[in-house]
Chains A and B, each alone.
Chain A
Amino acid sequence: MNTKLTLAIFPLIGCSGCENALLDAWRVNDDLFNNFEIIYSPLLADFEEPDHVDVGIVTGNVRFHEDINKLLRWHKKSKVLVALGSCACYGGIPGLLNLQNIQSVINDIYSPKISLDNYDMPKLIENVKSIAEFVNIDIAIPGCPPPKNLIIKLFEHLLKGEPLILPDKSVCNECPLNTSEDKVIRNIKRFSLEPITPNKCFLEEGVLCLGPITRTGCDARCIKVNTPCRGCMGYLYNIDEAVVKFLSSVSSMIDEKSRNIDIDKIKDLTGLLYRFTLASSKLNFIKRG
């Protein structure tokens, strides 16, 4: 009797890092993974798209018109729909391209005399979107890449048929460098270009780190290798609200007596605060170029 839960991995526009992370978590002949059978994944097998599947895992973001139709179709086919990775959940890093006018990007890159229309090429939409813009997601596993522990947790929850709710805590909660309640910022520094004291909270050293607003689940993996958090897990609050909270809490940390604060050093706040989430912001950004 085959009681395995069927699994389909539906790829939109991404880097295959989520599939690779899934493979990194996969264990052969393991009690947990034995309960699942992958019936569709263009990366892993030549199988045709199924009509129905127990669990549909979508990776990547929406970039082309045809992606929307695919997504709606997959949503219908899946009993449970999982958004895996930051691109599916929030649009991911490619969302930063939403700061530019897509037609002018295309004209710039490809010779304007040539039209992509003639060879049945998919048509780009104006802005990169997350999949949540189009379908209801049952379980969202963010992360770029999604952390291995969360992937294993996902399968445990799928097996039990329970919803998976991510912890309501920030990266700072898991961060080994987070030792003080009242952080004070005395100057602003650029990561890796200005010396900081090793093994101290990045924010207190003046390097902007998104730990305070970023949802935990990653085990503070970047900070543990001496890199500040860039928010790939998404935020604890609604995206734009989180950005405002971050800015106001940073400004309240700034030491009033300090004369070294040079906020002009950070010319690209948008690219920092919306690194993985710009496509999910409700703000209207002015497009350049």
Chain B
Amino acid sequence: MSKKLVFHPITRIEGHAKVTLVLNDGNVENAYFQVTEFRGFERLLVNRPIEEAPLIVPRICGLCSPSHHLASVKALDEIFGLTPQENVIRLRELLHYAGFLHSHLLHLFILYLPDILFSDIKPNPGFIGMIKSYPSLVKDVLEIRGFAQQILEVLGGSSIHPSATMAGLFLNPLKPSQRTELRDKASKSIKLFNTIVETIKDKLSEVLENSISFPSNFVSLHSKSDYPLYHSDEIHVISSKGELLTYFQHNDYLEVIREKTVSWSYAKAPYLKLTNDGYYRVGPLARFNINSKFHSENSEDFAKQFLYNVPSPICMSEYYNIVRIAEIKYVLDKILEILSSERILEYTYLQRDLKPMNSDGIGVIEAPRGLLIHHYRVDDYGYIKYANLIVATVQNTPIIEKEIIARSQQVISKYGVSEDKLYNTISRMIRNYDPCLSCATHTSNIPFTLEIHIKNENKVLFYPTFSSTP
């Protein structure tokens, strides 16, 4: 007989979600990861002037607002046919890395770590338990988060929803005294973070011993010369066996990634057109599996201990958290590197008259939770006519559902239908992905006949044409 189990709410993740498990005679028939919120940013952007988009879209997400700001600005660069100068890129990277630091620390230490530290306590006291039982750890984590916050405030006015950069520009150049102060704090934060990791290392190893492999495809930006969080437009797709299935430039994304509506959620389900099962993971694990090198000393040292000794590609979602730690080390190294050079001060805020050169602009970036695409189309006056956002979390939701089924089945064969054990296992597994549901409920509407307008003769922009939605 068919039976439904509903787990609601799923806690310690961003936003509102529930899980519905359909059981039939002790077998898991199906699982639904249901995003129970709706925001509608793609629709509310329509008819707004394009230069307002970078000020509106950060509000999609309070945890990764710098990523939305930057993906949006990269799309504006394309619309106005601009290649930003080197120092604009450096300053944007600085903003991006600080955003990563702010977001990754929140997830790892405030949302996720309580799963390990309080695994026997019910209900899990989360961050509140951490304040009581691990005050010095929390203090250290908040101190590094405070450093990230300061960078974001100095550059963008606010640590959440910053406004720092516009088409081709960085609005608020760094001052010499700010650079030296932040540089010194960067060195301190690197040391402090290394100490923090030492204290939780053994606990992490224990968790990894019990991790379970769940194969999938992976999608992320790719670069040979660096770990590509900001500065690549080439997207790679690999299989669970590590074969390169395809690669494409960001403006071909619609040829590879499609979305379908599901009836049980306000989030849609993206899939890869080229494969049968089509589902894929994005985020830290995908970035590491595809790029496999960090190009930063601290992360490389850490990866040698925890990542390089595992067969690649890593298909265990517990490893999301490990790669997150390596990424924190990477962004800290990069922040120090950028702030160590005085050249970053050589930027002057030069404004020009800008007119839309291209009707379409596509900005792609690696957000903390994975590949993020902002696609806008504007009219001749630069007013938005259409917007499509492919957000990290929404790409992970189909694979999260598959993994819920697999993990629940394991729990049931071991312990029977124990709601407690199921909730624990499912919510912990979901937390590995660090889902962000206010992001996920963007309202995409894949365009059904894309017009091609190529106005900029210097740069060939190609847009594929589709006739209908699946």
A contact residues vs B (CB 8 Å cutoff): 11, 13-21, 23-24, 26-29, 37-39, 41-48, 63-64, 92-94, 96-97, 99-100, 105, 108-111, 114-116, 118-122, 124, 144-145, 147, 190-196, 198, 221-222, 224-227, 230, 267-268, 271-272, 275
Contact = CB atoms under 8 A, between A and B. Distances in A.
B123 A45 contact: yes
Given A96-B44, A97-B40, A145 B160 contact: yes
13 contacts: A13-B16, A15-B63, A38-B127, A41-B126, A42-B12, A44-B111, A94-B40, A97-B43, A108-B445, A190-B382, A226-B172, A267-B47, A268-B383
Contacts of A23: 106, 110, 142, 145
Nearest to B6: A120
B349 interface: yes
Given A13-B39, A45-B11, 14 more contacts: A13-B38, A14-B438, A16-B15, A17-B63, A19-B62, A21-B160, A44-B111, A45-B127, A105-B443, A109-B443, A144-B161, A190-B49, A193-B354, A275-B56
B263 A115 contact: yes
Contacts of B146: 24
A46 B124 contact: yes
B169 interface: yes
Contacts of B126: 41, 44-47
A42 B124 CA distance: 11
Interface stretch (B128-136, B202-210, B247-255, B275-283): B128-136
A14 B127 contact: no
A267 B157 contact: no
A122 B437 CA distance: 15
B61 A15 contact: yes
Interface in B372-428: 381-383
B298 interface: no
B444 interface: yes
B59 A29 contact: no
A144 B161 CA distance: 7
Contacts of A97: 40, 43-44
A16 B34 contact: no
A155 to B, nearest CB: 15
Contacts of B80: 193
B49 A16 contact: no
B199 interface: no
A92 B49 CA distance: 18
B138 interface: yes
B273 interface: no
B263 A145 contact: no
Nearest to B351: A195
B12 A46 contact: yes
B233 interface: no
Given A47-B125, A193-B353, A221-B158, A17 B59 contact: yes
B448 to A, nearest CB: 11
Contact of A43 (B12, B59, B443): B12
Contacts of B32: 119
A243 B164 CA distance: 26
Contacts of A21: 62, 159-160
A120 B36 CA distance: 9
B171 A105 contact: no
B51 A193 contact: yes
Question: 9 closest pairs, A vs B, by CB?
Answer: A17-B62, A45-B126, A46-B123, A119-B264, A192-B166, A225-B172, A195-B351, A15-B62, A225-B157
Contacts of B12: 42-46
A220 to B, nearest CB: 9
Instruction: Specify which of B49, B145, B381, B383 lies most central, judged by the most chain A CB atoms within 10 Å of its CB.
Output: B49
A227 B383 contact: no
Contacts of A42: 9, 11-12
Nearest to A276: B59
B216 interface: no
A15 B442 CA distance: 12
A195 to B, nearest CB: 4
Contacts of A147: 158
